[in-house]
Structure 1
Amino acid sequence: MASIKMPYSKSSIDANIPDKNLIKILESKVHNYRPELSQLEIVHKALDNPIESKSLEELVKGKNNMVIITSDHTRPVPSKITMPIILDRIRNIAPDIDIKILIATGYHRPTTKEEMINKFGEEIVKNETIINHMSKNKEDLVKVGILPSGGELWLNKIAMEAELLIAEGFIEPHFFAGFSGGRKSILPGIAGAETILANHCSEFISNKNARTGILKCNPIHTDMLYAAKVSNLEFILNVVIDKDKKIINAFSGDSEFAHAKGCDFVKDLSKVDNVKADIVVTSNGGYPLDQNIYQSVKGMTSAEACCNEDAIIIMVCACNDGHGGQSFYDQMANASTPKEVLDKVLKIPRNKTIPDQWEFQILARILDKYKVIMVTDMCDPQMIKDMHMDHAYTFEEALIKAFELKGKGSKVVVIPDGVSVVVK
């Protein structure tokens, strides 16, 4: 009997699977990568060696004010390590510079004070100016251009008025943007709601290049890259983290070229074989990405790539924050079948994209072909069932259900962290 630890909230659960059924465990090499330097040393080394850019210190010289974009509560960016280093380096050169930290919420809810303290630490929350981006507040936005796809690019006014704009973030495989990090700090990070919706339209989401690990000819990435250039995002610090959320590498410099170097590093470590199975077990990597059903779709896409016809996906995801989006929930719950959702969304034109459309489009795509059993004891099972998925309180319960449906001889593949891999 194989026992595999699956990330679950801030801990883990054991997935016990008979040896005769388990055919492969697919894991990113990122999780076992052992850097020679400490986390602090890695960050400092990256900042000392910017890629295709002046150093942060050079960029800060002569500036009176600046904005640092950072990720929100749904992203495990280790800001307790990175932000103090960034702030210290800036103030060593410009002690009186006015710094605003802008949380790139994208289309998400605002980050709470408690979540800020968890992210930055009490000292930074107490002493720094921290602002939540609000994508739906039109008065807080300014139009800065037209995207390659034709949509209007509206961005946060505070960021656009800053003398210097930089961003911190992290790089991991992303289920439709190819990879997170870099340009995503701008779009969707600090973009207006209408801009985000247009970029995440059904046409782009269904594009064969809008997939995990793909940047070339990815229409979503193309728009994002343009947004970063037009916004004058002059410098980024992007880290790569392991399963314990510890920094194993970092890249700084130009928002396109430093990000591309980071993506190459992640892709080389994250590639796994495409092994097909009747039952695919995965997770969303634990906290903070497994707080809701909305985010869980990311991990499901890795499992989707390994599914035989009519396979079952067992998704280990706490979902303690519920569904994660009212529109997301309503669109799934109010439809009679996932196919109904999919047919409807594919008819919605680019400029008429509705909230959370991309998420329920991808979930409907998965559920139209495969059954999903959600493993959690932290949310209402009825909510999961309303969204056309099955529920199990424990992994054992889910596996019994899966074997009953697919047979006791079914082959099983396990992807312990579904958001960390690029399935070849």
Structure 2
Amino acid sequence: MIKLPYDTGYLELPLDPGGRVHVLTAPSSGYRPEGRPEELVRQSLQNPVSSPPLSAMVAGKSHIVIISSDHTRPVPSRITVPLLLEEIKKGNPRAKITILVATGMHRPSTPEELTQKFGEEVLEQVTVKVHRSQEDEEMTFLGNLPSGGELWVNKLAVEADLLVAEGFIEPHFFAGFSGGRKSVLPGIASHKTVLYNHNARFIASPYARTGIMENNPIHEDMLWAAERAGLSFILNVVINSQKKIIHSVAGHPVEAHRQGCAFVHGQTAVKARPADIVISTNGGYPLDQNLYQSVKGMTAAEASAAPEAVIIMVSRCRDGLGGDHFFHLLADYPSPQAAMDRFLATAAGDTVPDQWQAQILARILLKHRVIVVTDPALAGTVRQMHMDYAPTLEEALQRARSMKGRDASITVIPDGIGVIVEQDGGKV
């Protein structure tokens, strides 16, 4: 039996590894860090990469802004933020400190979510502001990105005497990796800037893939945005499947992030095993909350799928679809090809919300049949979006075998967003 994360539990796949069945799991599943989470973070702050210590950088600064990820990201801010505050107060006990919550284009975090994320003790020490990407009056224009798009960033960050960011690094399905520069774009950028950065031409780039930053046009614009906004210091952690810190980097926004990404690559990169049937997940709750997010797990399957393979995506989707825009961008077209043609004909400045996710799903559907094992309430929605639905994993496997044969090769990826699936040459 192979256990696949599903919501807060597991589904059991009645297969055993071996023969024509292969399982791709990240090396980090057996990694044991040398120290407790707090110790790892402290060590990184005491030994910053290509940067003076934060305690030295804050000297003479009257207003310090810390960019922090929002409620949708499992960053252990109850550990990281208190240690950041400790460093700042060591060097400048009277500095005004504001936490700017990087929502990107997500909804604002609620007071309850902020308390859960930071803890009351932190909230009593700082001012907290939630980024609102649609509020133009809260943005400052910083020029044009290398790609030509306008860079609008939250003015709180731009007006700070020192801009710091905390976050985490994991594989990202079109930016290469999360963390670092992503705190600024999309984190605290205007919706106009985010939409331009996520345009169809960039998403279509062969370099806009998991684990790739070199020549990645999305990453390149993000780097420029972070530098232009004045991001000076980062604290980024790496977490395991239990959301526990196993590594931490701090210091220069580019160099520290690069070191963190190298660690993540070493802990998550696996070689593709191209197969006729590929089964993937989103790693269970909270990342399999909706169908929109589940596209991420599908890209791991795509990277290990033989031509015209069947992909089985296992995702609970307790919150349903994840966005009406996402649904209509595929369901309103007669085929994935028709939808793709529309995406590619859309100018960068005309990008609409969720277009990138729908484009990536269309890309997968143009090459593979997708069967989704999910909440029965989504059966009709899944079919309208040009995928198949199965109520159980067993039925999905039976249906896939009816298409590809009883002797079809099978690759199973228990955590599709926790691995970088590399083909020959190191590219997905």
Equivalent residue in structure 2 for 1:235, among 223, 227, 233: 233
Instruction: Kindly state the Cα deviation for residue 276 of structure 1 after the two structures are TM-superposed.
Output: 0.8
Q: Secondary structure at the match of 1:355?
A: coil
Which residue of structure 2 aligns with residue 107 of structure 1?
Answer: 105
Q: Distance in 1 between matches of 2:199 and 2:190?
A: 15
Partner of 2:426: none
Match of 1:169 in 2: 167
**CA-to-aligned-CA distance 1:351-387 (integer Å, 9 cap, x gap):** 2211111111001111122122222238533222222
CA distance change for structure 1 residues 392 and 193 in 2, over 3 Å: closer, same or farther? same
Instruction: State the AA in 2 paired with 1:343.
Output: D
Give 1:207's match in structure 2, choosing from 205, 214, 219: 205
Provide structure 1 residue ranges, at least 5 long, that are not aligned to the other structure: none
Would the alpha carbon gap of residues 61 and 394 (structure 1) be closer, same or farther in structure 2, given more than 3 Å must change?
farther
Question: Which residue matches 2:352?
Answer: 354
Asked if 2 retains the 8 angstrom alpha-carbon contact of 1:6 and 1:283, the reply is yes
Whether contact under 8 Å (2:40, 2:246) holds in the other structure is yes
Count of residue pairs the alignment pairs up = 422
Matches within 5 A, 1:289-328: 289-328=287-326
**What secondary structure sits across from 1:275 in the alignment?**
coil
> Which of 61, 64, 78 pairs up with 1:63?
61
Change (3 A) 1:19 1:178: closer
Gaps of 5+ in 2: 423-428
Does the 8 Å CA contact 1:141/1:192 hold for their aligned counterparts?
Answer: yes
Indicate how the Cα distance of structure 1 residues 135 and 19 shifts in structure 2: closer, same or farther if over 3 A, else same. Answer: same
Kindly report which structure 2 residues correspond to 1:143-292, keeping only aligned pairs within 5 A, or say none. Answer: 143-292=141-290
Describe the superposition over 1:285-337 as per-residue Cα deviations: whole angstroms up to 9, x where unpaired.
Answer: 22332222221111111100111122111112222222222211111121111
Give the aligned residue type for 1:315: M
The 5 Å alignment of 1:48-127 reads 48-125=46-123
Once the two structures are aligned, what percentage of the paired residues are identical?
51
Q: Contact 2:321/2:378 (CA < 8 Å) preserved in 1? A: no
Q: Which position in structure 1 is the counterpart of 2:127? A: 129
**CA distance in 2 between partners of 1:16 and 1:170 (Å):** 35
Distance 1:20 1:43, change over 3 A: closer
d(CA) in 2 for partners of 1:354, 1:39: 40
Q: 2:404 corresponds to which letter in structure 1? A: K
Mapped to 1, the partners of 2:299 and 2:414 lie a distance apart of 13
- Specify the code of the residue in structure 2 equivalent to 1:287: Y
SS in 1 for 2:14: strand
Which contiguous aligned blocks of 4+ residues in structure 1 show a shift greater than 6 angstroms? none
Query: How much has 1:245 moved relative to structure 2?
Result: 1.1
Question: C-alpha distance in 2, partners of 1:313/1:121?
Answer: 41
Residue deviations 1:254-275 (CA, integer Å, cap 9, x gap):
1111001111111122221111
TM-score normalized with structure 1 length: 0.95
Judge conservation of contact 1:73–1:288 (CA < 8 Å) in 2.
no
CA separation of 1:60 and 1:176: change in aligned 2, threshold 3 A: same
SS of equivalent residue, structure 1 residue 339: helix
Mapped to 1, the partners of 2:375 and 2:326 lie a distance apart of: 21
Query: Contact (CA 8 Å) 2:278, 2:305: kept in 1 or not?
Result: yes
